[in-house]
Structure 1
Amino acid sequence: MINRLVIFGATGDLNARYLLPALTALRAAGHLDDRFTLTCAGRVDWTGEHFRSWAADQLDRHGLDSPAEARAAVADRAHYRRIDATDAADVASVVAGDGPVAFYLALPPEIFPATVAALGAANLPRGSRIVLEKPFGVDLDSAVELNRLLAGIVLEQAVFRVDHFLAMTTVQNVLGSRLANRVLEPIWNSAHIREVEIVWDESLALEGRAGYYDGTGALKDMVQNHLLQVLCLVAMEPPLSLGERDLRDRKIDVLRSVRPLTDDDVVRRTRRARYLAGRDVPAYTEEEGVDPERGTETFAEVELELDSWRWSGTTFRLRTGKALGHDRKEVAVRFRSVPHLPAGFDEEAAPNVLRFGLEPESMTLALTGVGTGAHTLAPLTLAARPTGSELPAYGRLLLDVLHGDAALSIRGDEAEESWRVLEPVMSAWSRDVVPLAGYPAGSDGPDTVRSG
């Protein structure tokens, strides 16, 4: 296990809201002891004392699930260094020491290449690992170039392209539910499943993230990584094991099976929009830090089809939006109607729907049962709440990084294939082949949105 972690971009929102609380959870669960050292590096001119005070404040806001003793242990033992992560000499100054280091790039993706180059010039200790947040690059060409830079520094097994969705309990339950239950796997195919919706609808608006979001948009922020990763777990063939090679081989098979989209397909199968003023929220173009000329979308929907024996004929709909009327974060598996309903029932049977709630975590199965009268049908819902993990999603990912388990990390070829899937959409949208619609903040979204 690696006992040295360096976080670049340590004064940012990612470290405050997720990484520091995750480290606190690891400490509370006994996974980190006093041999573990944490170096937090940023460009802000802070003293070590100021950073530790700031870290303690952030943990009091975002880490209350862990005991005060664990929060204090992480904040008090954090070392702060003011550096430029793209400067080779600055980076080399935090590399010095004994033993391998895990470097977490909690940075804007546009400076990943320069930071990776600086790490390459810093003579990393043998066994070191590099962790990169999504999105991995900004398009296919940049992802290919970033993979080339990384390959010149460390082995692929030492690169962790993390996506915290893969460590969420309910996302893991998608695999467990279909692969460990005989009742589901035989019907997990297009003969029985008509459509799969993977949805991350948020009532939250921009929330001060214009610096990142306006240059990214909903398609790159959510669909290209998070939602495509969930698609892989839903649609993959059963792996021989949950080890890194078997699991990731089956995931990339899914991405390679996605039918390429033409411009006509993009018009028929995608939607893009951004929110207008409403619900005490200003229009997206009036948010501080937004450039209206960029045409950044806050809502994206893409319908995909897979050219494979198992899934030919099933539609996969990936959707995300901000400033919507309500949160809806789930995987909805919609089964086909029964082939025949005996005469005498008073109405048609509604198709079954299996829902995996992503946030909050839940599982429900909508069935049809007998109603109160003879030959009547009525909806019947079976519901369960999965047992939560002792660790938050980022805690699980950080533990995997420190132990060198890359199963939940995205492999280099997988990252490139994800961009290939959406390149036709990005190209068509950049040419305004699909108009940028609008929807009032607090509404159900653009008129063309499908819901439920």
Structure 2
Amino acid sequence: MASQTTVKTLLILGASGDLTGRLLLPGLARLVAMGRAGDLKVVGAGSDPWTPEQWQNRVHTAFTEASVSSDASGKNALKDLAKTTTYHQLDVTADGPLASLLAELEGPVAVYFALPPHVSQLACAMLTAAQMPAGTRLVMEKPFGSSEESARDLNRILISLVPEDHIHRVDHFLGKATVLNILGLRFANNFLEPVWNREHIEKVEIIFDEDLALEGRARYYDNAGALRDMIQSHLLQIMALMAMEAPASIGERDLRDAVSAVLRASSIKAPYAKSTRRARYTAGSIAGRKVPDYAKEDGVDPAKNTETLAEVQIEIDNWRWKGVPFILRSGKAIGDKRKEGVVTFRRVPHLPTGFSGVDSPNQLRIGFGPDTLQLDVDVNGPGNIFTLDRTTLNAELNASELLPYGEVLDGVLTGDPLLSVRGDTAEDCWRIVEPVLKAWFRGTVPLEEYDAGTSGPENWPSSAAPQD
């Protein structure tokens, strides 16, 4: 079971980096302003020789927006935290400095590794269990390892330091509201669950197409690509939620057991030229903004053949889903951004003779950020009552008051690993995609091209586009 002891100190490693300033601190600010961080102290550490003033300015800047929309108590909480925060320059990969800093901090401590994955692994390797203050929690950013073997090695290191339920492998893409919206939809509606299987569903698509291009992230992205960056981590987790069996509870053990069971049954079947596709964007425009050719972006090595659009077909070999393709797709610089899961139902076995007008299967769409729900229904149309028209029922699902990283930190501070990825699951995600990565590296699947601002290569069959 997860520990219920509230964290007293949040230690951010990589405090001078982009992730901390752009996402982590603003997420923390909303949490603090809502009175959900308790009596928390925040300590920053990094390799940059920052002065105390530089660090406090960063914290103050990140807290400004949350302060504007807060009440008096929220403003005071933000102001107090900003005044007491400190920064330490240290090399986290050296033997000694990180352990010495941990010994000075009030526990329990949450150590947030806002660092490149290989640096995080080196830092953890410099620590021992004896150097961990009681109740320490370790927070790891994706990607968790670079292969199944490296993920397994990192798991061994982390487990030697703290228990599994004190390790938070964060997936900020999956907020608590999104997770619970999917589970509520699936398991609280008796009309839906009986048809949620291979007998009634033709295919499931999970799509994350964004209109953003590289946006100065070449250093990370050119070594990752769409398959590692999005599908290996985020989209496989969403797939598992949509495909899992009903858990006994929404407690972290029951839920994560159910997720793990789906991923253990999942694989991408060879030949990979049939079950996967990859492409890279060339110059184009999005909403009037010119986008340069990916291969010519600063920091990109064209010889790496990094894909900016990836699509894979997952097979889930179990009783419920055998034979139903789960198609996972993610791309950058796409003209129409889409973040949704699309469930396409099988056609009715027989439409009574005399009806006309609809020849496409029904679809259920679950939108992610904002969370929405759309269900296609065929009804008798106006005018000629023998003609069926497609109508769509729309609903907005509940959203969280917290920013995505605020939800992550909320779980970390309260000791709830519900939203974190369990160690065995992290390894399984790599097992699923690693054969594809090797095939792509060998060139057995061609790297195609598409103009920025389009939906992808012209010869790709289109995924289920929203109805007008």
Decide: shared fold, TM above 0.5.
yes
* Pair 1:36 & 2:40 matched: yes
Amino acid at match of 1:135: P
Q: 2:255 — aligned with what?
A: 247
CA, structure 1 residues 368+158, in 2 after alignment: closer, same or farther (shift >3 Å)?
Answer: same
> Per-residue CA shift, 1:312-371, capped at 9, x if unaligned?
121100000001111111111111111111111123343111111112221111111111
Q: 2:462 — aligned with what?
A: 450
CA, structure 1 residues 74+195, in 2 after alignment: closer, same or farther (shift >3 Å)?
Answer: farther
Contact kept in structure 2, 1:351 and 1:367, CA below 8 Å: no
* Pair 1:420 & 2:431 matched: yes
3-state DSSP of counterpart to 1:163: coil
Equivalence map 1:342-357=2 (5 Å): 342-357=352-367
* Pair 1:328 & 2:335 matched: no
Q: 2:22 — aligned with what?
A: 17
Instruction: Report the Cα offset of residue 110 of structure 1.
Output: 1.7
* Selected match of 1:200 from 191, 194, 208: 208
Contact kept in structure 2, 1:215 and 1:296, CA below 8 Å: yes
Q: 1:7 — aligned with what?
A: 12
Q: 2:371 — aligned with what?
A: 361
3-state DSSP of counterpart to 1:366: strand
Amino acid at match of 2:101: V
* Selected match of 1:281 from 269, 291, 302: 291
Instruction: Report the Cα offset of residue 14 of structure 1.
Output: 1.7
- Counterpart CA distance in 2 for 1:63 and 1:416 is 40
CA, structure 1 residues 415+64, in 2 after alignment: closer, same or farther (shift >3 Å)?
Answer: farther
Instruction: Report the Cα offset of residue 13 of structure 1.
Output: 2.2
* Pair 1:397 & 2:408 matched: yes
- Counterpart CA distance in 2 for 1:224 and 1:364 is 26
3-state DSSP of counterpart to 1:430: helix
- Counterpart CA distance in 2 for 1:317 and 1:433 is 20
Amino acid at match of 1:277: A
Amino acid at match of 2:274: R
> Per-residue CA shift, 1:67-112, capped at 9, x if unaligned?
6825544433321111222123221232123322110111111212
Amino acid at match of 1:330: E
CA, structure 1 residues 65+10, in 2 after alignment: closer, same or farther (shift >3 Å)?
Answer: farther
Amino acid at match of 2:402: L
Instruction: Report the Cα offset of residue 64 of structure 1.
Output: 6.5
Q: 1:26 — aligned with what?
A: 31
Instruction: Report the Cα offset of residue 260 of structure 1.
Output: 4.8
> Per-residue CA shift, 1:227-256, capped at 9, x if unaligned?
000011000111111122211111111111
* Pair 1:189 & 2:197 matched: yes
- Counterpart CA distance in 2 for 1:66 and 1:342 is 59
* Pair 1:77 & 2:81 matched: no
CA, structure 1 residues 60+208, in 2 after alignment: closer, same or farther (shift >3 Å)?
Answer: farther
Amino acid at match of 2:137: R
- Counterpart CA distance in 2 for 1:371 and 1:215 is 52
CA, structure 1 residues 124+259, in 2 after alignment: closer, same or farther (shift >3 Å)?
Answer: closer
Equivalence map 1:131-142=2 (5 Å): 131-142=139-150
Amino acid at match of 2:27: A
3-state DSSP of counterpart to 2:127: helix
Instruction: Report the Cα offset of residue 62 of structure 1.
Output: 8.3
3-state DSSP of counterpart to 2:178: helix
- Counterpart CA distance in 2 for 1:163 and 1:64 is 28
* Pair 1:58 & 2:62 matched: yes
Contact kept in structure 2, 1:165 and 1:171, CA below 8 Å: no
3-state DSSP of counterpart to 1:405: coil
* Pair 1:311 & 2:317 matched: no
Amino acid at match of 1:15: T
RMSD: 1.8
Amino acid at match of 1:314: V
- Counterpart CA distance in 1 for 2:80 and 2:363 is 46
* Pair 1:46 & 2:54 matched: no
Q: Could you tell me the TM-score, scaled by structure 2's length?
A: 0.92
Determine what percentage of the aligned residue pairs are the same residue. Answer: 48
CA, structure 1 residues 64+387, in 2 after alignment: closer, same or farther (shift >3 Å)?
Answer: farther
3-state DSSP of counterpart to 2:208: strand
Q: 1:270 — aligned with what?
A: 276
- Counterpart CA distance in 1 for 2:328 and 2:98 is 39
- Counterpart CA distance in 2 for 1:249 and 1:63 is 39
- Counterpart CA distance in 2 for 1:417 and 1:362 is 29
- Counterpart CA distance in 1 for 2:68 and 2:462 is 37
Amino acid at match of 1:353: Q
Q: Could you tell me the TM-score, scaled by structure 1's length?
A: 0.95
Instruction: Report the Cα offset of residue 29 of structure 1.
Output: 1.5
- Counterpart CA distance in 1 for 2:23 and 2:207 is 22
Amino acid at match of 2:28: L
> Per-residue CA shift, 1:125-181, capped at 9, x if unaligned?
121010101110011111011011112111111111111122252343111100111
- Counterpart CA distance in 2 for 1:227 and 1:65 is 33
CA, structure 1 residues 26+171, in 2 after alignment: closer, same or farther (shift >3 Å)?
Answer: same
CA, structure 1 residues 281+405, in 2 after alignment: closer, same or farther (shift >3 Å)?
Answer: same
Amino acid at match of 1:276: T
- Counterpart CA distance in 2 for 1:16 and 1:342 is 61
CA, structure 1 residues 102+192, in 2 after alignment: closer, same or farther (shift >3 Å)?
Answer: same
- Counterpart CA distance in 1 for 2:323 and 2:461 is 21
Contact kept in structure 1, 2:281 and 2:293, CA below 8 Å: yes
Contact kept in structure 2, 1:349 and 1:377, CA below 8 Å: no
Q: Which runs of 5+ in 1 are unaligned?
A: none
Q: 2:397 — aligned with what?
A: 386
CA, structure 1 residues 283+59, in 2 after alignment: closer, same or farther (shift >3 Å)?
Answer: farther
Contact kept in structure 2, 1:341 and 1:348, CA below 8 Å: no
CA, structure 1 residues 426+50, in 2 after alignment: closer, same or farther (shift >3 Å)?
Answer: same
Contact kept in structure 2, 1:223 and 1:319, CA below 8 Å: yes
